[in-house]
Amino acid sequence: MQVRLIDSMATTEPLAEVFSDRSMLQAMLDFEMALSRVEARLKIIPQAAAEVIATEANPDAFDIGALTRDTLRAGTPGIPLAKALTKRVHARDAAAAGFVHWGATSQDVADTALMLLLRRAQPLLEFDLIRVEQALQRLAEQHPDAIMLGRTLLQAAPPVTFGLKAAGWLAAVRRGSVRLRESFAEALLVQLGGASGTLAALGKQGPAVARGLADELGLGCPDAPWHTHRDRLANLVCACGVVTGTLGKIARDISLLMQSEVGEAAEPGGQDRGGSSTMPHKHNPIGCAVTLAAATRMPGLVSSYLSAMVQEHERAVGAWQSELPTIAAVIQATGVAVASVAEITEELSVDSARMRRNLDATLGTIFAEKAMILLAQNLGRDIAHKLLEEATRKAVEDKQPLAKVLGAMPEVTRHIDPTTLNRLAVAEDYLGSADSFRIQQLQSIRPTDKKD
């Protein structure tokens, strides 16, 4: 399906199709057909009526524009859908028309249709999340020795490795993927409660109809209808928010590494991706921009959904009616973020030589902590800290390596020998447990958790 121009950076084509008018209509008709089949099987309605309903539940025969206009007046898409289907069935078999939508309420139609759309969306998200995980795992495994500046508050800090950074991204994505899958599993439930959530119109057969409907549609069957209990969907929305936030963090890091004056990594370009309308030299972080745009929208969407959880009694006024576009936007924002990060990470270029040059350009000042720890053993932390503040300031002002400045300070050379000073700026000597942490995060990824 072609994405609307205004939504071109807010969704993917597959997800736009999932939440299209036709998809929503088909899902509602699937509910009505499945309901009639189950009720016919349980002898609640005639088998002949179920067959006519199935015949007339053809989405091509419905006027989506009219349904849309009528939904605005009805307050739910379920009412005009049931009326339109009943009209079509009546034209074929007047008796059968009386059994359309038997025992259900309009919210049952809309909520279950949403579940069917979410079930279609889940594998699309999971497919791209697996792409991201596999790409990040490769990056973490391929760059264990790519030493780079650590950056705290956007300032140079002691070194890390790109392998560790990628492993951290991977572990966070994996945690989010697990939470997302669990949230989908919990949320994908049929909705069938009837007028007040008791299925009174179906007598004692209500639970059997609900179970049969769930089986027909491939959804879970809850203990009871959940018309105004939206906690499971809220968990799913929040899980999407966390995943998108994690992807936004990755995109933020990569976009900063792509800055011209940094140049340590770059997302793929080509085919008009990342160019400028006026500056031919530019390679813009467009995949990062799309991801960050989704991450920027997401908190407001999550907040909107959480606000809609406060619903009155057995049927909400306004809160429930707000949910459909919010959930669709949440899923599509998550999807476009995941797809963008997958494209970025699968072909991310890493410039380890530039990383080393940027590290060396600090003149060893990022190892001030290392020198301070060495001095503190004899001078105490406070005195050592002051000495290193002074030495670092002089190194920057005079554009001299920190080790050379320290070598000219008697209060330093009395406690640190020349050999140790000469190795002060050897980055490999000051990586601590970086590689252990990298390996631990890689090993925490359980391949058996991945969906085939």
- Report whether 376 contacts 370 (CB < 8 A): no
Q: Catalytic: 276?
A: yes
Q: Catalytic: 20?
A: no
Orientation of helix 286-307 relative to helix 323-346, angle to 10°? 150
| Nearest by Cα to 168 from 444, 451, 448 | 444
Q: How far apart are CA 359 and CA 148, in angstroms?
A: 6
What b-and-e string marks burial along 204-239, b requiring 16 or more CB atoms within 10 Å of the CB? ebbebbbebbbebbebeebeebbbbebebbbbbbbb
Q: How far apart are CA 157 and CA 147, in angstroms?
A: 12
| Nearest by Cα to 170 from 441, 425, 448 | 441
Catalytic residue (choose from 196, 276, 349, 444): 276
Catalytic residue (choose from 41, 175, 315, 356): 315
| Nearest by Cα to 114 from 242, 39, 226 | 226
Q: How far apart are CA 366 and CA 152, in angstroms?
A: 11
- Report the 10 Å Cβ neighbour count for 19: 22
57 DSSP assignment? -
Query: What residues are labeled active site?
Result: 276, 315
